[in-house]
Structure 1
Amino acid sequence: MNSKSIKCPVFDGTDYGWWKTRMMHFIQGTDYECWVTIENGPLAITTTDANSVSSEKAPKDYTSDDYKKAEKNSRAISLLQSGIGESETSRIAGCKTAKQIWDSVELAHEGIVQVKKQRIDLLKQQYESFKI
Structure 2
Amino acid sequence: MSGTHDEIPPPPPPPQETQQKPTQQTPQTVSTIKLPILKKGEYDIWAMKIEHYLAHTDYPIWEVIQNGNGPVSVTLDTTGQIKILPPKTAEEMVLRERERKARTTLLMAIPEDHLAKFHKMTDAKDMWIAIKSRFGGNDESKKMQKYILKQQFEGFTVSNSDGIHKGFGSFY
Tell me whether the two structures share a fold, i.e. TM-score over 0.5: yes
Equivalent in the alignment of 1:73: 99
Measured against aligned partners, the alpha-carbon deviations of 1:59-117 in whole angstroms (never above 9, x if no partner) come to: 26x11121011111011112112212212212212211111221111001223xxx32x
Q: Number of paired residues?
A: 114
Equivalent in the alignment of 1:21: 48
Q: Secondary structure at the match of 1:26?
A: helix
Structure of higher RCO (CA pairs closer than 8 Å, 6+ residues apart): 1
TM-score for the superposition, normalised by structure 1: 0.69
Sort the Cα spacing of 1:44 and 1:29 in 2 relative to 1 into closer, same or farther, 3 A.
same
Matches within 5 A, 1:13-52: 13-44=40-71
Question: Gapped runs of 5+ residues in structure 2?
Answer: 1-27, 74-83, 155-172
Q: 1:120 Cα shift?
A: 5.9
Equivalent in the alignment of 1:53: none
Question: Gapped runs of 5+ residues in structure 1?
Answer: 47-56
Moved over 2 A (4+): 1-4, 43-46, 118-124
* Cα distance in 2, alignment partners of residues 3 and 102 from structure 1: 26
How large is the Cα RMSD of the aligned pairs?
Answer: 3.0
Q: Name which one, 1 or 2, has greater alpha-carbon Rg.
A: 2
Sort the Cα spacing of 1:78 and 1:107 in 2 relative to 1 into closer, same or farther, 3 A.
same
* Cα distance in 2, alignment partners of residues 24 and 87 from structure 1: 22
Larger helix proportion of the pair: 1
Q: Is the 8 A contact 2:107 2:119 kept in 1?
A: no
Equivalent in the alignment of 2:120: 94
